[in-house]
Amino acid sequence: MNAELITEITDGLKKLVGTDSGFGSVLKFDFEGQGVARIDGRSSPNVVDNQDLPADCTIVISPENLMKMFRRELDPTMAFMQGKMKVNGDMSVAMKLGPIMQNAAKAAGM
C-alpha cells in the first residue's frame, strides 16, 4: 500500500483546488484498490478528501502514474490509450482536470 504517496497527492490537490476552483463537479481518483482521492467542486468551499463516495467521474490510475502526469512525465491521452488510466462516468468532468494539471506542473516548476 502506498498510503504516504496518496496522502501527498491529496495534500497537493487541496493546494491546487483551493476553496473555489470553479470545477463544479465531483471527481474521484481510484488508486487501483489502494485508496482514493476525491475532489468535490460542488461544495462551497471545495473539498478534497479521501472518502470513497459517489462521483460524477472516477479515474482509475496508480498513484505513481498520477504523479507522473502531474510532473508532465506521462501524457494523460497516452496514459488512457495505453490502459494506464481508465475513466468511468462523465468524461467531460475528466476533461475539466486540464487546468488543475497545468497548475500542478507550474507549482512543480515545469
* CATH number of domain containing 74: 3.30.1050.10
Q: For residue 106, tell me if it sits in a domain.
A: no
Please write the tens of the pLDDT for every residue from 21-71: 788 999 999 999 899 999 999 999 999 999 999 999 999 999 999 989 888
Q: Is residue 92 part of a domain?
A: yes
Answer yes or no: is 108 within a domain: no
Q: How confident is the model at residue 104 (pLDDT cuts 50, 70, 90)?
A: low
Say if 42 falls within a structural domain: yes
* Amino acid (1-letter code) at residue 18: G
Query: Which of the pair, 81 or 72, is modelled with greater confidence?
Result: 81
Expressed as residue numbers, the domain containing 72 is: 3-100
Domain assignment present for 110: no
Residue entry with cell 515545469: 110
pLDDT for position 17: 85
Answer whether 25's CB lies under 8 Å from 42's CB: yes
Is 21 among the domain residues? yes
Number of domains in the chain: 1
Residue 105 lies in a domain: no
Q: Which strands make up the sheet holding 36-40, listed edge to edge?
A: 47-49, 36-40, 26-30, 57-61, 85-89
